[in-house]
């Protein structure tokens, strides 16, 4: 009698795990090298083309050793509404490599992004898509 109960409990747990909370998804872009005398900042720009709000769990800029950089700007916040854009950025050290990473609770198929190195005037000097 205990064995069927255990099997039913395991089946219920397995179903709950498969339909429970949404799985996290990521967008990443880079690496981009901050050319000396050219780049002064990295900007990670995101667009939510989906029909629902994206819950942002992490937005981070990493250097070549994997260290998180201090963000100088962050318009993303905890959520990104549908059909809206946001960005986060950080200052760069010449000669370093940088990458952008965004983690959301939803499937990121409708999120698009670009990692861009900027000069001191805000112009784009290099970019790569976030995938």
- Check pLDDT > 60 for residue 15: no
Q: Confirm if 74 and 21 have CB atoms less than 8 A apart.
A: no
Mean pLDDT of the chain: 85
Nearest-angstrom CA–CA distance, 72 and 81: 22
Q: How do the domains of the chain map onto residue ranges? A: 24-130
Return the pLDDT at 24.
64
Q: Name 92's Cβ contacts closer than 8 Å, sequence gap at least 6.
A: 34, 39, 40, 41, 42, 98, 117
Which CATH number is 24-130 given? Answer: 2.60.120
For Cα atoms 36, 37, 42, give the angle at the middle one, nearest 5 degrees. 75
Q: What is the pTM of this model?
A: 0.80
Stretch 4-20: mean pLDDT, rounded? 33
């Amino acid at each position: 009698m205990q064995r069927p109960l255990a099997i039913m409990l395991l089946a219920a747990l397995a179903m709950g795990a498969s339909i429970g909370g949404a799985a996290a998804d990521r967008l990443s872009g880079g690496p981009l090298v901050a050319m000396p005398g050219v780049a002064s900042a990295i900007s990670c720009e995101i667009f939510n083309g989906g029909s629902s709000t994206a819950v942002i769990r992490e937005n981070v800029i990493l250097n070549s050793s994997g260290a998180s950089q201090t963000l100088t700007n962050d318009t993303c916040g905890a959520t990104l509404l549908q059909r809206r854009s946001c960005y986060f950025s950080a200052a760069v050290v010449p000669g370093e490599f940088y990458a952008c990473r965004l983690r959301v609770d939803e499937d990121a198929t409708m999120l698009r992004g670009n990692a861009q190195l900027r000069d001191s005037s805000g112009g784009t000097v290099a970019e790569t898509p976030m995938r």
